[in-house]
Amino acid sequence: MIDKSTFCTRPWNELHIEEDGRITPCCVMPTIICETPPPTGINNYLKSDWLASLKNNLKSGIKDKSCRTCWMQEDLGYKSHRKTTVAEGKKLNKVEAVHLRTSNVCNFKCRICAPDLSSSWQAENKKHRFFKDDYVIFDNILDDEQYCHELLMICKQVKQIWISGGEPLISKTTLKFIEKCHEYGITNTNIAFNTNLSSLHYKNHYWLDEFKGLKVTLTVSMDGWGKQMEYHRTGLVWKTLLKNVQDALPWVYNINCVLSIYSVYTIPELINFCHVAEKELEINPVMGRHNIQSVFNLPDVEKQKIVNHYHKYFEDKPQHLFEQAEKAVLIPLLSNKGDLKTNQAFKQYNTMLDYYRNTNFLETYPEYREWYQSI
């Protein structure tokens, strides 16, 4: 018997391959959060006791600790990753999807990110050491020809391939993977990129030309709008992003937004943009190690200001847009009590980064002035 309250098909049907070659079942379970690190190598992973134990727990109603991101999302009322899968759960012995994190090379230093996923963060972290560990840049996972062949042979048989980073469109591994897809005839499988779309060029290559002959779609990360998005996604040039979205619009499948203290005030503009562009918007709350940035941690009076802001913005917009915002932002905002004690840590974090980045939180977010100055 399968206990549906914890069951997830991903350990059977998917591979999440990180930039250093380590593997887990899905992208919301990076090896950094695994209670016991899984083994390296595709065959070793598939035959491992680690994977067998995880499968047994999820079938038996046991909330495995390595899956805590999904448990947290479900507790907050969001549709977790385990409930969105390409597999139907009928054949639990075949890999049907691969998520490849090609590198951790990235030109952004997002405040909701960290050095393990961004080379730009790594360089800055050497100055302030906010993150204590030492990190390595990886962009060579396909340099091992045997490993590359083994991965591509699996990719020939799957229904879905996801590519992420770092920023995958500035990675030599991404370029090699796309070239190999042409070589191996992987032309009918959807290849979905998660990208900040900061550039459509890599060296002397234009990505939209490289994608020709393949079934490529783009999920564009847009955590808010305008100057507020430039603030918390350091490295972003807002006008450039809008131009790239316009140029790549036929390839854009959807927009992904992380709900946080940084993005919540400009999400209404993003919702309206996606409506005009006729693109789906997915909104998920910030989780895990960056929980100090959760909008749920705000005091009630600040939450009410956000509610009032949304009502005012959408008063002359189609009703369904407000309903979308209400479901994705306002209802979870009012339903979930966060931890007010994290507010001080949030201010300390911002103050430190403002110093190193020559930015100013209150100049960018005057909406928070009373709250921020009271901390």
Q: Mean pLDDT, 10 residues at a time, over the chain (375 residues)?
A: 87 91 85 79 88 90 88 83 67 86 97 94 95 92 92 93 97 97 95 98 97 97 98 97 98 97 98 98 86 95 98 98 98 92 95 97 98 96
In a domain, 159, yes or no: no
Cα–Cα distance, 107 to 166 (Å, whole number): 8
Cα–Cα distance, 277 to 165 (Å, whole number): 25
In a domain, 96, yes or no: no
Report the SS3 class of residue 2: coil
Write down the pLDDT at residue 21: 87
- Per DSSP, the residues of 144-178 read SHHHHHHHHHHHTT-SEEEEESS-GGG-HHHHHHH
**What are the backbone angles phi and psi of residue 30, rounded to the nearest 5°?**
-65, 155
Write down the pLDDT at residue 129: 93
In a domain, 338, yes or no: yes
Contact 117, 166 (CB under 8 A): yes
Contact 87, 152 (CB under 8 A): no
Q: Which domain holds residue 375?
A: 251-375
Which residues, in sequence order, are bridge partners of residue 220?
A: 195, 255
User: For the chain, how many structural domains are there in total?
Assistant: 1
In a domain, 33, yes or no: no
In a domain, 267, yes or no: yes
In a domain, 258, yes or no: yes
254's CB contacts (< 8 A; 6+ apart) are 219, 220, 279, 280, 281, 282
Helix spans in 41-144 (H): 42-46, 49-59, 68-75, 119-128
In a domain, 188, yes or no: no
In a domain, 94, yes or no: no
Write down the pLDDT at residue 198: 97
